[in-house]
Amino acid sequence: MPIITSIKPQNSQRRVNIYLDGKFGFGLDLENFMKLRLKVEQELSEEEVKKIVKEGEFQIVYDKILRFGSLRPRSEKEYRDWLRKHKVHLSLHEELFNRLKRLDFLNDNKFATWWVEQRLQFKSKSKRELIQELKFKGISKDIIEEVLSETQPNELDMAKKLMEKNKYKWERLDNYSARKKMFEYLARRGFDWDIVRKVVGEIIDQ
């Protein structure tokens, strides 16, 4: 059975971190810490640890993760990263995810759709960039393909919007230098060669 090897106050001074067998075990508010009379060298069963964590931590963590999820849609990976960052005990993860799913907070398909719509509207992202970003957010290949097939981003329009927004960068350059810079810019943004050539060609002709 795990043994409490250290008890350290958190920065807030209203909570403590409990270390089991030399490793971080769980955080606990002072009220529950005093009530349970936990002390160094105390032995706890796995069931006791789970019970302490669930009773003392669940509502606090649940309220925080709801605030995190309320700011904008989140992917499952973002929630898992949040739990890991805040050192939330594994015994709470399943119930937290179940509640998030019931509230429709945890839905990678819905998140991916929102993400693509936002990035197209405000950032004029290429399809390649969108795929990379969604992969980074932990979205599966199947969901990415499904969302992009439904959204069908118009990369030609996206590239034109980007060039219009950034044309001031090349206005004072000669045609050769401007063409080169524009080609490089759109290529870095993940647009296909045919789209880059067409958009840059139209701008130079103008």
Q: What is the pLDDT along the chain (206 residues), one digit of tens a residue?
A: 899 999 999 887 788 999 999 999 988 888 888 888 999 999 999 899 988 888 777 878 898 999 999 999 999 999 999 999 998 988 899 999 999 999 999 999 999 999 999 998 888 889 999 999 999 999 999 999 999 999 888 888 889 989 888 888 888 888 888 889 999 999 998 998 989 998 988 887 66
Backbone dihedral angles phi then psi of residue 83, each to the nearest 5 degrees: -65, -40
Residues 105 and 97: their CA atoms lie apart, in Å, by 9
pTM summary value? 0.70
| CB neighbourhood size of 108 (10 A) | 20
The continuous run of DSSP H or E covering 17 comes out as: strand 15-20
> If phi over 0 gives left and psi between -120 and 50 gives alpha, with beta otherwise, what is residue 120?
alpha
| CB neighbourhood size of 52 (10 A) | 21
